[in-house]
Amino acid sequence: MNTAIHPALIGSLNSTAPSEAIINFSPGPTSLPKEVERQIAANFNKPGLTSLSISHRAPEFQAILDHAISTVRNVMHIPDNYEVLFTHGGGHGQFAALPLNLCHSPSDKATYVVNGTWSARGRDEAQKYCQIETIDGRHPEDGSFTSFPELNEADISPESKYVYLCSNETVNGIELHRLPKLPPSRQHIPLIVDASSDFTTKPIDWQGCGVGVLFACASKNIGHPGLTITIIRQDLIGEGKASPLCPGVFNYTTNNEAGNLWNTPATFNIEVVGIVMDWLVKEGGIEANEQRSIDKSQCIYDVIDALNGFYGTPIANKNLRSRMNLPFNIKQGDEALTNKFLIESWEMGIIGLRTLTPFGVGEYLRASLYNGVSVEQAVKLAEFMKKFASENS
């Protein structure tokens, strides 16, 4: 590492602030709620083997698995005609698993709504396995993703095996606060949702929106990296549904029939999901958690909107602004001021606003407000932003 470069400018999360002052705004993996972390530690201080060492075939793990599934169902009001799987390979694994499970033949069609980085990645992976039709959400002039396209009947083939969307684009800062409904003549087509970064932060109308599959990586809101929750409507699984080329590890039918135990699952990670769900119940359930998400994001957007352009955000439509990932720039991307902001915030324990990603740095910083960030911590960032603007206007 070049010692002349401040750690904050290369995405370091090792702030010199006291540990109790650290607030992790990283886009993921990120921190869990403090109470969840304490419960995990307490579980590891109990006598006997822990989920890090018990066999997935042991009755003790079956109890952990059953608890995680039942609490997810409870918190997210998942109807009985959906199955809950804990899958491997992260979101990228599901990018491939979806067409391999829902398209029996490479000639089958699927429609992808592309309104940001991750839906584009999902589309690009799926086109290896089926025929893709795209509803393009890019701005016609500059190619940016700043809105969500209309879902018109003419743009969705009635032969599509599914319509795919990402409900929160972490890089671009676009969120669907409620899932859309397909046009009436296309409501026979299952809606597929990548909810990796907003799962458990708002209710889902499973039946009304025709959700066929919803998946979410654990490492933003519900646990640790290495686990994905995949929720599948029962009519989409069964013998002969998947492509004959679908690997067993990705096959929804195979894994559902094996009760999530076709191969060794991520035992510890599954236990953590159950602990997070217990915490959500204790904190008021999904409705209360959505209000916290609104409160966290609103206090920061209020600062951005009130300070006469000192801060900017790319999403003008307030109805589409993400509550999870808030991109903002300083004085239209002023490099010196941005670096100063990063260094000062990092030194006081506000970390994760810039991470090095495959998509580059760009002019926007990003505050991610997952379940591990409290309302009080979001307010601290908002207060720092106001103070910094006052001192540097």
Tokens (6 digits) for 152: 């018109």
Q: Are 263 and 117 in contact (CB under 8 A)?
A: no
Active-site option among 161, 198, 206, 220: 220
Measured between alpha carbons, how far is 221 from 31 in angstroms, rounded to an integer? Answer: 9
- HSE at residue 392, side-chain half, CA atoms within 13 A, is 19
Asked whether the CA dihedral 238, 239, 244, 248 is positive or negative, the reply is positive
Tokens (6 digits) for 169: 């684009």
Residues 6+ apart with CB under 8 A from 235: 81
Determine whether 118 is an active site residue: yes
Measured between alpha carbons, how far is 98 from 101 in angstroms, rounded to an integer? Answer: 5
Virtual CA dihedral for 34, 39, 43, 44, nearest 10 degrees? Answer: 10
Measured between alpha carbons, how far is 245 from 233 in angstroms, rounded to an integer? Answer: 21
Q: Which residues pair with 122 in a beta bridge?
A: none
Q: Taking Cα atoms as reference points, which of 336, 364, 371, 366 lies closest to residue 353?
A: 366
Active-site option among 161, 194, 279, 346: 194
Residues with catalytic annotation? 118, 194, 220
